Amino acid sequence: MKSLYHRITGSVGGFIREWHGFIAAGLLAAMFGLGVGSMIGNSAIVDEVAHIPAGYSYLHYGDYRLNPEHPPLIKDLAAIPLQFMHLKFPDNEPAWTTDVNGQWESGWNFLYHLGNNADAILFWSRLPILLLAIAFGGILYWIVRRRWGVAVALLTLFFYALSPNILAHSTLVTTDLGATVFMFLAIVSFARFAERPTRGNFLLLSLGLAVAQVSKFSAFLLYPFLGVVTLGLVWLAKDPKRPVERLKVYLGGFIGASALSLIWIWLFYIPHTWNMPESVQDRLIEGSLASQTMTAVSHALMALNNLSLMKPLVQYLLGVAMVFGRVAGGNVTYFNGQVTDQSFHGYFPELFVLKTQIALLVLLAVAVVLAVWRLTRQKHVWARMQEYFRAHVLECTLGGFAAFYFLISVSGNLNLGIRHILPIYVPIFILVAIATVKRWRVLAQTRWARPSAVVAVVLLLWYGLSTVAAYPAFLSYFNELIGGAPNAGKYFSDSSVDWGQDLRRLKTYVDDHPEINRIAVDYFGGGVPAYYFCTRKYDEHGQLVATAAGYDCSNSVYEEWHSQYGRYTGQYIAVSETFLENDRWYSELNDTPGYEYLRQREPIAKIGGSIYVYKLY
């Protein structure tokens, strides 16, 4: 007779096999609900000020003069609903007509100063990104189930749908979710070609590479990485004969697919640059690549721009060049109480450990330790590794890509947040799920079956509940190793904690505390405090004053404030965490006290983990 334990596990297994599709749908529904709830309360983050109006202008005008440093696909998706909203766009302002890449001024005007409903624009432009995340979750489940079975697919989807980092960036108009989605799909298309180098898979690979490139320029790293993997396929092929034929099939196929991907990219950029004057593009190239290190690139692109039909490809190459220049230039970064305008090599390793759920870290550590242990116990290790690579191209490519992308990020000069390594998460979810299910099936046949089942249930509950507990502040999520988001300011700032997402929540907090009759606000983000705290001005003809000065804050509790104004003498002040911590750098640079007097105090509230409210007396 079977024990109660085996009857229960058998029943659970049968239920999962029979109802796996409904379970997957339930996970995606939970992801959608959590995403929408978080999205509605978020104010605009910094990058949305540039991305949203840029996407609108691409579809509405066929002109790519705004935000060329990011490719168009995700911005296009976000802008589709906006085309039906009868919005006003500042196409008669200098930021559009004469400025070089006047993305920020165009963005502030479009969202806040022309009378458009900023919150409606934010909701409808974010919704397609969330729907993309949900659709990808379904595709991810389908791909994993076909390759590794229902258990691995459900566990992968569980990790994906309830990841605070994935949820955070599924509700914002940025390129990070798109990079995560389409770089993974490009790797899958590569693995299909490696396993079956047919014409159809060759075409699929070229499209996969192209779509990844028009999602985020960091996908350019796929070319060298997959090129190295291709050489590995040639070198480690089962048949040691006919090396020329292998080179032709694999290396030739990859080079051909890469070249064809550039044609797809060129075609995709055509409608985005169709109405863009050549003189505007020349001015954009010259102004965007003004540094001495970029002079040669600038001249080459301007020369290429003179050739017929090259304008779309030039716009893509301009974006790639701008991103490489941006990464080399660095950024003011706060890390563990220190601030620099360069980078910290320990930044991303620590960030990954602190912003990833502990349950996943435990399972990842177990998987790595067991893999290394098994490998060291093997005879003929190199031969076994070759054999494993030939039989598991996708797993090896995913693991290699996660390691490669992470190391590139660590060695780079730009420390801006977990979003810069977001593409490594889906490979990790899959590989951890494979290892966990495989280990569980082994342990299920031993005396360790019950303890391991208890541990697995506890870890999965911990994973899910940590996400629910973080709601709705997914962007500022940190795990229990540092006590969660309330302590994040001791370690990080910027987009891993504070990207400007909590301005609306600050307004709600002030409204709920009538004792606050005046509050100074130093806000970092894509919102405009006056838009939420003040009333609009109209001229003598009853027309809206459609400028940044078009707000009457005389009867508002809000007062604009910045650290260079000196020490605030009022009772309440709210400061964004990024400004509070990065002030260490700027106050020393300008030899001013800055916000040191605030950093010595405990705030009376932390709004969403990103805006600190202080009561001074």
pLDDT tens-place string over residues 463-479 = 999 999 999 999 999 99
Prediction pTM value: 0.94
pLDDT tens-place string over residues 415-465 = 889 999 999 999 999 999 999 999 988 888 888 888 888 899 999 999 999
User: Nearest Cα to 460, choosing from 165, 159, 160, 168?
Assistant: 159
**Cis preceding-peptide flag for 53 (omega within 30 of 0):** no
Backbone angles phi, psi at 614, to 5 degrees: -120, 145
The sign of the torsion formed by the CA atoms of 603, 605, 606, 611 equals negative
Give 156's contacts (C-beta < 8 A, 6+ positions apart).
140, 141, 144, 429, 430, 433
pLDDT tens-place string over residues 480-538 = 999 999 999 899 999 999 999 999 999 999 999 999 999 999 999 999 999 999 999 99
pLDDT tens-place string over residues 158-190 = 999 999 999 999 999 999 999 999 999 999 999
**pLDDT category of residue 384 using cuts at 50, 70 and 90:** confident
Residue in the structure block whose two tokens are 């379970």: 23
Share of the chain above pLDDT 90, in %: 79
Give the other-Cβ count within 10 Å of 475's Cβ.
31
**pLDDT category of residue 1 using cuts at 50, 70 and 90:** very low
DSSP per position, 301-341: HHHHHTSTT-HHHHHHHHHHHHHHHHHHH---EEETTEEES
Identity of the residue numbered 547:
T
pLDDT tens-place string over residues 326-369 = 776 678 889 998 888 888 989 999 999 999 999 999 999 999 99
Backbone angles phi, psi at 487, to 5 degrees: -105, 5
Q: Where are the domains of the chain?
A: 42-116, 277-322, 347-482, 487-615
Q: Provide the Cα torsion 494, 496, 499, 504; round to 10°.
A: -130
Share of the chain above pLDDT 70, in %: 97
**Would strands 338-340 and 572-576 be described as parallel, antiparallel, or unpaired?**
unpaired
**The pair of three-digit structure tokens given for residue 391, joined into one six-digit string:** 């039989």
